[in-house]
């Protein structure tokens, strides 16, 4: 069966979908996106993703083209038709096609809304440690918007790949913010520390779920800026995202960190997240 895409209300093979040259997403990165995980043919945390999509959309002064409940229904229907049991749904919303110009026309905009499903490997029971590559955080001050303008993240991730690392970690004037495509966490004195969401940190859905799980696990949490020197001395470090779940950090710029093995707090959170997924 060909890979299907839902685009502006029509379902067709992905290879046949077309985007206008003057789509503002293409010319200005004028749009937002979401990535939703599919486990066992079910969309995980879809409501949370659609709530963030609405916030991102409002953040760029773009009205959602349809109600969340209707969108959720369309997404569920395409996911069922795709036949993908383990995978992810990519959704993108742009301000659509209009004659090129920085100033956008008043509403209503001719949105481009699309989503499609991609298969992924099922999550590993004991994921290996990841190597981080430190990059100066030169992104804009509105990282809480899940914008499709990802060039700084793309360049950071490529810099990481070029030195054999798995992920880039952003450091903003000595403070660890997040990674190119995941949130960053450290365990310091038994407490889970992560930078607050906002100007420099995306409100990750996985991050949100992990912080919700902490009280029942008896893990204290501190949402505060975290200095690079503190992170390097932390008992444990891990990163989290929809597609990764949780990965413990084994190296930071080639240096072994966190004792070089997956720490106890990371392991407990990973197990609790897996239980949340399968439950
Ligand atoms: C910059 C950034 N931070 C954090 C995350 C993690 O967010 P989520 O858990 O919603 O996947 C992502 C995911 O793509 C990301 O791109």
**Residue 132 to residues 142, 202, 254, Cα–Cα distance (Å):** 23, 18, 8
pLDDT tens-digit series, residues 232-248: 999 999 999 999 999 99
Ligand 1 pocket test: which of 241, 245, 269, 277 has the largest number of ligand atoms within 8 Å of its C-beta?
241
Whether 148 contacts 162, CB under 8 Å = no
Query: What pLDDT does residue 106 have?
Result: 85
* Mean of pLDDT over the chain: 97
pLDDT tens-digit series, residues 71-95: 999 999 999 999 999 999 999 999 9
Residues contacting residue 262 through CB under 8 Å, at least 6 positions apart:
126, 129, 236, 248, 270
Query: What pLDDT does residue 197 have?
Result: 98
Question: What CA–CA distance (Å, rounded) separates 259 from 209?
Answer: 26
Lowest mean pLDDT among 56-70, 106-120, 155-169, 230-244: 106-120
Report residue 279's pLDDT band, with 50, 70 and 90 as the boundaries: confident
pLDDT tens-digit series, residues 254-264: 999 998 999 99
pLDDT tens-digit series, residues 87-127: 999 999 999 999 999 999 888 878 999 999 999 999 988 88
Q: How many CB atoms lie within 10 A of CB 55?
A: 14
- 146 part of the active site: yes
Region 45-69: what's the mean pLDDT? 97
Residues contacting residue 132 through CB under 8 Å, at least 6 positions apart:
160, 165, 166, 167, 168, 169, 179, 237, 239, 249, 251, 252, 253
* Torsion angle of the four alpha carbons 209, 187, 202, 46, in this order, in degrees rounded to the nearest 10: -20
**Residue 185 to residues 48, 207, 226, 227, 249, Cα–Cα distance (Å):** 21, 9, 9, 12, 10
Report residue 220's pLDDT band, with 50, 70 and 90 as the boundaries: very high
Cα(260) to ligand 1 centroid in Å equals 24
Question: What CA–CA distance (Å, rounded) separates 75 from 164?
Answer: 36
- DSSP per position, 94-108: E--B-SS-SSPPPSS
Ligand 1 pocket test: which of 52, 146, 183 has the largest number of ligand atoms within 8 Å of its C-beta?
183
Half-sphere exposure of 120 (CA within 13 A, CB side): 20
Query: What pLDDT does residue 1 have?
Result: 79
**Residue 102 to residues 25, 29, 61, 147, Cα–Cα distance (Å):** 12, 11, 14, 17
pLDDT tens-digit series, residues 126-146: 889 999 999 999 999 999 999
Q: How many CB atoms lie within 10 A of CB 135?
A: 21
């Amino acid at each position: 069966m060909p890979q299907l895409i839902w685009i502006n209300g029509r379902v067709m093979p992905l290879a046949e979908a077309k985007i206008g040259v003057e789509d503002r997403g293409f010319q200005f990165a004028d749009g937002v996106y979401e990535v939703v995980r599919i486990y066992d043919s079910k969309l995980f945390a879809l409501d949370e993703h659609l709530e963030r999509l609405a916030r991102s959309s409002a953040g760029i002064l773009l009205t959602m083209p349809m109600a969340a409940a209707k969108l959720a229904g369309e997404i569920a229907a395409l996911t069922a038709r795709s036949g993908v049991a383990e995978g992810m749904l990519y959704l993108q919303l742009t301000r659509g096609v209009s004659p090129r110009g920085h100033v956008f026309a008043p509403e209503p905009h001719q949105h481009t809304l699309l989503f499609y499903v991609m298969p992924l490997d099922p999550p590993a029971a004991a994921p290996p440690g990841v190597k981080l590559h430190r990059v100066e955080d030169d992104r804009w001050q509105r990282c809480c918007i899940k914008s499709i303008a990802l060039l700084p993240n793309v360049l950071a991730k490529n810099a990481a790949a070029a030195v054999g690392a798995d992920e880039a970690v952003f450091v903003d004037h000595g403070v660890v913010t997040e990674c190119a495509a995941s949130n960053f966490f450290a365990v310091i004195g038994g407490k889970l520390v992560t930078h607050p969401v906002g100007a420099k940190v995306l409100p990750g859905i996985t991050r949100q779920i992990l912080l919700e799980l902490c009280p029942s696990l008896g893990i204290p949490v501190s949402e505060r800026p975290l200095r690079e020197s503190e992170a390097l001395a932390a008992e444990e470090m891990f990163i989290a995202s929809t597609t990764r779940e949780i990965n413990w950090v084994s190296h930071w710029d080639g240096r072994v960190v966190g004792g070089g093995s997956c720490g106890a707090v990371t392991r407990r959170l990973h197990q609790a997240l897996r239980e949340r997924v399968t439950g």
